Amino acid sequence: MTFPAAPLLLLLLPALAGAAPELTDRHGLPLRVRSAEASSSPVKLQDISPWLILATVAAEDKRFFSHSGVDLRSVARAVWQNSRNGRTVSGASTITQQLARALEPRPRTFAGKISEMLSALRLEAGRSKEEILEGYFNGVSYGPRLTGAEAAARDYFGLPARDLSLAQAALLAGLPKSPVNYDPRRNPKAAFARQRLILRRLLDLGLADEENYRLAAGETVTVREREALFEAPHFARYALARARGEKIKTTLDSRAQEGAARALKNHLASLAGAHHVTNGAALVLDNATGGVLAWVGSADFFDERDAGQVDGVTALRQPGSALKPFLYALALSKGARTSDLIDDSPIFAAGGHAPLNYDKTYHGRVRLREALACSYNVPAVRLAQRVGPAAFLAKLRDFGFDSLDKPADHYGEGLALGNGEVRLLELAGAYAALARGGVWLPARWEDGAPGGAARRAIGRTEAYLVTSMLSDNSARAPAFGLNSPFNLPFDFAAKTGTTKDYRDNWAVGYTPEWTAAVWVGNFDGSPMRRVSGISGAAPALKEIALVLRKLYGSSQFQRPPGIKTVRVCPVSGLPPSQFCPSGMDELYGAANLPQGQCSEHRPPEASAAPPAGKPVVKFPSDGDIFRIDPQTPRAAQALFFKAEGAEAEIVWAVDGKELTERGPSVAWPLAPGRHTVSFKALRDGKPAASRAARFTVIE
């Protein structure tokens, strides 16, 4: 790299003088105005406090005025220290090298370091020390959004750089080494410890006398509070990269943004430590327009330790079960019904993979409504086999999942369980399509700007039926309990997602007015501990939903024309016969009503022949092991014993004690330990007993 003869300030102007547009929310409140770094023009060296110059030399490069761009003594010392410690403890970068890095950023590699040194030597050959110092003080970073000493002085102290005292200058001089670790607002203890070290170096190097050192050491330095000029930082960064013009009005609502950020941060604090959860993200969309109402990319944008500047809204992560609603929508469009029975029993998918449900057990034949609401994995894989991975992938792309860019055979049936990677932005947009009756809209960030083209992703009937399943609190109670975070006092359709290795938690919910989506996890990819979607992301989603309802209200989901209510037997999913003990209302498209009648329930005398085979416990099977879910209320966890080959008046016994509830299928609350279950009943008019089935329940 060569440097032209133009003044170094001109080379730095693109970074310093590229005034960022002013961003406001939809109500005109500022999100990002011209920040200190943008509003502060480059300054001459004579406009920098001499104390800052001396403090910087003492802190960063004490031989600055004698070396030729690279301090070979410091390099030798750094090599020795680094090899001795087995890691990088010293960088040995001179002020000139740091300026070269500001002019042309390089990777922090050995080759990058050599390139940086060569550039520093060329700088020194063609520039004076004064020019290099002037370029440094205008180009070095003093913190997030703070480039240059003038911007830093005004941001931290409300002063021009020329008016800094020795104590203030020593504090600022300590920042370039690590602007985050020595940020006096976030880490005042470390920042002021480094300030005291720099003051002592000034004294030891003879750059400050005893009197000035004593006065500076005793001065109380007050750092101003950061002005709220950088709200919604991840959203602002996203918008600025696409903005055109000087003042941009966005779709964001500062009230929703503040509420979503607070809810997420508060919940993450409860998951830290034992659960190893360090970060999360949240997004809120206006269903009518696709406009972004809130965009929280991480818990803390300025948290360097947990990668706070990574944007969880646009990051690619595996969605777990959060894609299942779109699979069910596709199945409904191909003739499936919400009351159809699907087998939840062991299955070997392509490649020999045997999917497991979250509760590590199987539930026999279940209705589609219950299978989706409870997020059972095996029925989802069976559905994926039925509709085909290629058709499912095509439907997901209709719903805006452009990140799923591999061919269908790359994902296979595992796509039903979320083995691809998607963005929170895509997930929220897809659920918003369900909320608006199957019409997908691209997310919008600029208020008043033309929106992207809408397209129909699924029919209104299918979108409404999926919404009814996702908002059915009774249907999801077997898996999540009656009082899960999704049991809200208004119509709310919601779904969770958890990856099998617990690296990602998701929760998405919607009303007719708005859609909210939450991701919880760790940006470094490490797994969480004992955290599922219902305990990780769902509580934060609940708090955000309550905030949104106060701001925008919520209405009931409106049934589209052509939806019919039909009474069916809950066991067979078909219209009940006169022998069915109970019935339930189910929803159907008018063109796809259930046909026939339940044949599961018959009077004993109507049996043409006695039941084949001996009475047996159909469920559980002998040797089954079940686990009590610590995240689900104990009262909501039960086994449903099922009998086969017996007539009415079936009496169950667990561990030799008779149960009060009787019949071919009864519920038994989970209790830890080893157990046996059996039943007695009439067969051919004579008492008969089943063999006992042994099973284990673990905590």
**pLDDT digit string (tens) for 119-167?**
888 888 888 889 989 998 998 889 877 889 998 998 899 888 999 999 9
CA distances from 606 to 34, 72, 581, 609 (A): 83, 100, 16, 9
**What percentage of the chain has pLDDT greater than the value 70?**
87
pLDDT, tens digit, for every residue of 463-481?
999 999 999 999 998 888 8
Asked whether residue 232 is domain-assigned, the answer is no
Residues 122 and 165 in one domain: yes
pLDDT of residue 455: 97
- Domain with residue 673: its CATH number is 2.60.40.10
Residues 692 and 643 in one domain: yes
Which one of 238-242, 250-254, 641-645 scores highest in mean pLDDT?
Answer: 250-254
pLDDT of residue 78: 62
Whether the Cβ atoms of residue 287 and residue 435 lie closer than 8 Å to each other: yes
Total of domains in the chain: 4
Asked whether residue 387 is domain-assigned, the answer is no
The residue among 543, 571, 601 that closes a domain is 601
Question: Which of the four pLDDT bands, split at 50, 70 and 90, describes residue 683?
Answer: low
Which one of 263-277, 307-321, 683-697 scores highest in mean pLDDT?
Answer: 307-321
- Domain with residue 109: its CATH number is 1.10.3810.10
The residue among 171, 198, 218 that closes a domain is 218
Asked whether residue 306 is domain-assigned, the answer is yes
Residue 513 pLDDT greater than 80, yes or no? yes
Q: Among positive and negative, which fits the CA dihedral 4, 6, 12, 18?
A: negative
pLDDT of residue 342: 94
Residues 20 and 97 in one domain: yes
Asked whether residue 355 is domain-assigned, the answer is no
pLDDT of residue 256: 96
Cα–Cα distance, 373 to 46 (Å, whole number): 69
* pTM of the shown model: 0.65
Residues 189 and 61 in one domain: yes
Residue 15 pLDDT greater than 50, yes or no? no
* Full residue range of the structural domain in which residue 672 is found: 604-698
Residue 325 pLDDT greater than 50, yes or no? yes
Asked whether residue 403 is domain-assigned, the answer is no
pLDDT, tens digit, for every residue of 589-635?
999 999 999 988 877 554 444 445 578 888 887 777 777 776 667 77
Concatenating the DSSP letter of every residue in 655-683 gives TTEEEEEESSEEEEE--SEEEEEEEEEEE
Q: DSSP class of residue 651?
A: E
pLDDT of residue 188: 94
Residues 539 and 583 in one domain: no
pLDDT of residue 92: 65
pLDDT of residue 252: 97
Residues 138 and 72 in one domain: yes
Residues 130 and 262 in one domain: no
Which one of 68-77, 131-140, 402-411, 676-685 scores highest in mean pLDDT?
Answer: 402-411
Q: Which amino acid is it at 418? A: G
Q: Which amino acid is it at 563? A: I
Burial 255-285 (b: 16+ CB within 10 A, else e): bbbebbbebbbebbeebeeebbbbbbbbbbb
Concatenating the DSSP letter of every residue in 587-604 gives EEETTS---S---S---G
Residues 638 and 498 in one domain: no
Residues 289 and 371 in one domain: yes
CA distances from 374 to 144, 470, 495, 534, 604 (A): 44, 9, 9, 11, 34
Residues 592 and 690 in one domain: no
Residue 494 pLDDT greater than 80, yes or no? yes
Residue 194 CB neighbours (<10 A): 22
The residue among 163, 198, 218 that closes a domain is 218
* Average of per-residue pLDDT across 35-46: 64
Asked whether residue 27 is domain-assigned, the answer is yes
Residue 437 pLDDT greater than 70, yes or no? yes
Asked whether residue 3 is domain-assigned, the answer is no
Asked whether residue 224 is domain-assigned, the answer is no
Find the range with the poorest average confidence among 4-8, 330-334, 479-483: 4-8
Residues 584 and 634 in one domain: no
Residues 494 and 588 in one domain: no
